[in-house]
Amino acid sequence: MSTYRQELKSRFAALGIVIVVVLSVLLVRLWTMQVLGADAFAALAENNRVREISLEAPRGRIYDRNGVELVINRSALAISVDPAHEEVAALLTRARNEDTADDPTRGELDAIFGELAGMLEMTPSEVFERVSDVRQEALRPRVVAVDAPMEVVAQLLERQVDFPWVRVEELAVREYPHGSIASHLLGYTGAISEQQFQSSDVYAGYELGDTVGKTGAELQYEGVLQGDKGWRRIEVNASGRPQGVVGEQPPRPGNDIQLTIDIEVQRVAEEQLAAALAEARRQGYDKAKAGSVVVLDIETGEVLAMASAPTYDPAAFIGGISTVEWESLNEKSSEYPLNNRAVMAAYPPASTFKVITGLAGLEAGITYENKTYRCTGRWTEMGTQWPKWCWKRTGHGTLTFRSGMENSCDTVFYEIGYEFYKRKLEELQAEARAFGLGTKTGIDLPGEVAGRIPDAEWKKEFNRNYPEYQMWLPGDTVNMSIGQGDVLTSPLQMATVYAGLANDGVVMRPHILKAVLDSEGLPARTVEPEVFADTGASEESLGVIERSLVDVTREGTAQGAFAGLGVTVAGKTGTAEVKGKDDYAWFCAYAPVDTPRYAVAVIVEQGGHGGSVAGPAARNILAKLFGKPIKTVRATDVSR
C-alpha cells in the first residue's frame, strides 16, 4: 500500500499544482479587473445604467414696447422618423455613400415612406429629404411634420407596428400671435447651422439640432433668449426601459426681451408699405414689389416700426422648412423676402440727400436761405459739353435756396455741389459722415450695411484696375449733391439723418431692444439712449433746412400727400434713378416740427415718384403716431 502511495505522490502533487495555478490565474484576473480596473468598469456600469436626456430650456419670449406678445412658445405634436432604426439607417447609409449609383431609388422610398407621406400630404422624397438632414445630431429623431392633423397622429400611434420608425413627440415651437407682422425684425428660428455650431463663442455648449435664432432679434439676442439646458438622469434597464429618475437639473428658461417697436405702429407701417406698392402699380409702375419703412423716436433712437416688403411667414420655419419652400424664398423672382431691406439694402438717396447738401452749403457759407438761383432746366456750369438737367426740364425760373428745397430743384443743388468741388475740401462728404452716413449705425440687428459716401480716395481705390476712371471729377460732386452718383444709404440711415435734423443735429443710435426682462417680467437691463453722431450743425442752418422741409409738405413736392393731416411735418421727397430700373420712390420726414418726436423713412423700389407713392405712406404712419385719421391719399405729385 505504501509503495503504491509513493508512486502516486508526484502525480497528486502535480494535480495540486494544477488546482492552485488555475485558481491563481482566475484570482489575478479578478485582481486586475476589480481592483486595478474598478474605476473604469464602474464608469461603464454607470454609463450603462444611466441615460441623460437634456431638458430644453424654454426660449425667451419677445414683447413690443407696450408688453404685447410678439413671439411666444407653444408645444406642438411633431411626427419624427428615427434615423437609427434599421430600415431607415440602411437607406441613409446608402444615400450618404459617395457612390451615387447606390442611392435609394424612388421605388424604395415609396415602399417605406409612401404611406406616411400620403397621410402627411407630402411626397416620399420630401419625407426622406427631411430624414437625411445632416444638420442634426446623428441619433436625434428627424422631424418630418409639425402640427399634423390629430387623426393622422392617432392613426400613427395606433399602427406603431406598421411604422416602427415613426416617433410622435412633443416639441416646443415658436408661435407668432400676429402672423408675419414684424417678421424681419423678429427673425425666425431653426436648427443650428454647421458654421454656428463651429463658432466657439456664442454657441459654446450647443448641440447639433438645437434651435437657434437665424435672423433678426432672434439671432441678435440668441444668447439672451436661449437659456440653459437642464438634464434628467434616468436609470434604464438592459432593454432601455426607464426605471426611475436618478437626478435632475431643471433648465433655466431664456430671458424674455422687450423691443422698442409698437405693434400697432408696425402694423400700420406694413399696411402703408403694401398700400404704397399697390398705388405704385396702379400708377403703372408694374415692377414695384419691394420697399421698406423705418420709424424712429428721434430723442432715443428707438425703432418704433421697421417694415420690409416683400415679407415672409416665420411660422414656415417651425420644425424645419422644406427645401422647396426655402428655395422659393431665395429665388430672384421672389425679390428675396427674407432680407430686411431697412438695414440690409443700400440705395441712392436721391433728393432726400439734398438736406445734407443744403446743410453743408449753409454751414460752409456757400448758400443762405434767400440766396437766389436761376433754373432754366439745363445747367451747363461745368461746360456746355457736360450739361446737367433739372428734373423739371422747363426750369423753375428764379428761386431761392429755400424754394429750391421746396421744389427739389436740382439746379440749386448742382450749383452748391459744384462750389464744393471747386473748394476741393470734400466738405459735402464730411457733412454726410457727420450724420453717420457711410458707416453702420450699429443698430442691434444682424446684416446691416454701411452704405457709401464716395470721395476722391474711394474712387481711386474703387477703380484701381481702371486708371482712366480714377480721377474725381466735378460731375462726381455734382451728382452726389442730388443724392445720385455713387452715394448709397440704407433706409435706416436716411431715417437717422432726419432724426438728427430734428434732434438739433444730434443723431441717436437706432436700436430695437428696450429691455431684457427677468423671470418676473421686470427689466433686468434697460437700453439707455446713446449718441451715434453729433453733427455740430448750427441752430441757424438747421432752422433754414426745417423751414424749407415744412414748405415741402405745405406747398412743395409733397403737399398732396400731407394736405389736411393736422400736424406740421418737415419732409423731403426723393426719386432715385437706378440704371435699368424704374425710379425708386423715397420720402423722409420728421414731425411735429415744434417739438419733434418721430422720424420716418419710406422707400418703394421701382415705385416711381416719392411725392405720390412714398409720401402718402409716410403721411399715414405719422397720422397713426399722432392719433389722426388714416386716409387713402391719391397724390398726383410727379416731382422729384
State the binding string over 522-561 for other proteins (x if CB under 8 A, else -).
Answer: ----------------------------------------
To 10 degrees, the CA torsion angle through 137, 142, 143, 144? 150
Under the binding rule (CB under 8 A), the answer on residue 11 touching other proteins is: yes
In 3-state terms the chain splits into helix, strand, coil percentages (rounded to 5) of: 40, 20, 40
Least distance CB 166 / other proteins (angstroms): 23
- Cα–Cα distance measured from residue 168 to residue 607, given in angstroms and rounded to the nearest whole number: 49
The residue among 38 and 154 lying less far from other proteins, judged by its C-beta, is 38
**Can you point out the beta strands (E) in 16-85?**
50-55, 62-63, 69-81
Least distance CB 31 / other proteins (angstroms): 7
The residue among 15 and 202 lying less far from other proteins, judged by its C-beta, is 15
Q: What are phi and psi of 570, to 5 degrees?
A: -100, 115
Strand 69-81 vs strand 142-146: parallel, antiparallel, or unpaired?
A: antiparallel
- Cα–Cα distance measured from residue 340 to residue 262, given in angstroms and rounded to the nearest whole number: 18
The residue among 18 and 531 lying less far from other proteins, judged by its C-beta, is 18
Point out which span in 31-39, 369-377, 466-474, 549-557 binds other proteins (CB under 8 A): 31-39
The residue among 33 and 531 lying less far from other proteins, judged by its C-beta, is 33
Q: What are phi and psi of 370, to 5 degrees?
A: -105, 15
Under the binding rule (CB under 8 A), the answer on residue 8 touching other proteins is: yes
- Please pick, from the candidates 40, 111, 278, 531, the single residue that binds other proteins as defined by CB under 8 A: 40
- Cα–Cα distance measured from residue 380 to residue 626, given in angstroms and rounded to the nearest whole number: 45
Amino acid at 529: P
Amino acid at 121: E
Point out which span in 37-45, 163-171, 469-477, 612-620 binds other proteins (CB under 8 A): 37-45
Least distance CB 60 / other proteins (angstroms): 39
Strand 166-175 vs strand 69-81: parallel, antiparallel, or unpaired?
A: antiparallel
- Please pick, from the candidates 86, 191, 198, 238, the single residue that binds other proteins as defined by CB under 8 A: 238
Least distance CB 5 / other proteins (angstroms): 7
> Do 561 and 622 touch, CB atoms closer than 8 A?
no
Could you give the angle at which helices 410-423 and 474-481 cross, rounded to 10 degrees?
140
Point out which span in 36-44, 342-350, 477-485, 557-565 binds other proteins (CB under 8 A): 36-44
Under the binding rule (CB under 8 A), the answer on residue 35 touching other proteins is: yes
Long-range contacts of 48-54 (CB under 8 A, 24+ apart): 49/235, 49/236, 50/233, 50/234, 50/235, 50/236, 50/246, 51/233, 51/234, 51/236, 51/240, 51/242, 52/231, 52/232, 52/233, 52/234, 53/231, 53/232, 53/234, 54/207, 54/229, 54/230, 54/231
- Please pick, from the candidates 2, 15, 167, 565, the single residue that binds other proteins as defined by CB under 8 A: 15
Q: If phi over 0 gives left and psi between -120 and 50 gives alpha, with beta otherwise, what is residue 573?
A: beta
- Please pick, from the candidates 2, 19, 359, 440, the single residue that binds other proteins as defined by CB under 8 A: 19
Q: Which residues partner with 292 through β-bridges?
A: 308, 603
Least distance CB 242 / other proteins (angstroms): 11
Point out which span in 39-47, 53-61, 280-288, 469-477 binds other proteins (CB under 8 A): 39-47
Under the binding rule (CB under 8 A), the answer on residue 26 touching other proteins is: yes
The residue among 50 and 324 lying less far from other proteins, judged by its C-beta, is 50
Under the binding rule (CB under 8 A), the answer on residue 247 touching other proteins is: no
- Cα–Cα distance measured from residue 289 to residue 278, given in angstroms and rounded to the nearest whole number: 9
The residue among 20 and 425 lying less far from other proteins, judged by its C-beta, is 20
CA distances 333 to 1, 188, 329, Å, are 111, 22, 9
Point out which span in 77-85, 232-240, 306-314, 606-614 binds other proteins (CB under 8 A): 232-240
- Please pick, from the candidates 66, 75, 97, 237, the single residue that binds other proteins as defined by CB under 8 A: 237
- Please pick, from the candidates 27, 157, 324, 471, the single residue that binds other proteins as defined by CB under 8 A: 27
- Please pick, from the candidates 66, 75, 105, 243, the single residue that binds other proteins as defined by CB under 8 A: 243
Binding residues (CB under 8 A) for other proteins: these are 1, 4-5, 7-8, 11-12, 14-16, 18-20, 22-23, 25-27, 29-31, 33-35, 37-38, 40-42, 44-46, 48-49, 235-239, 243
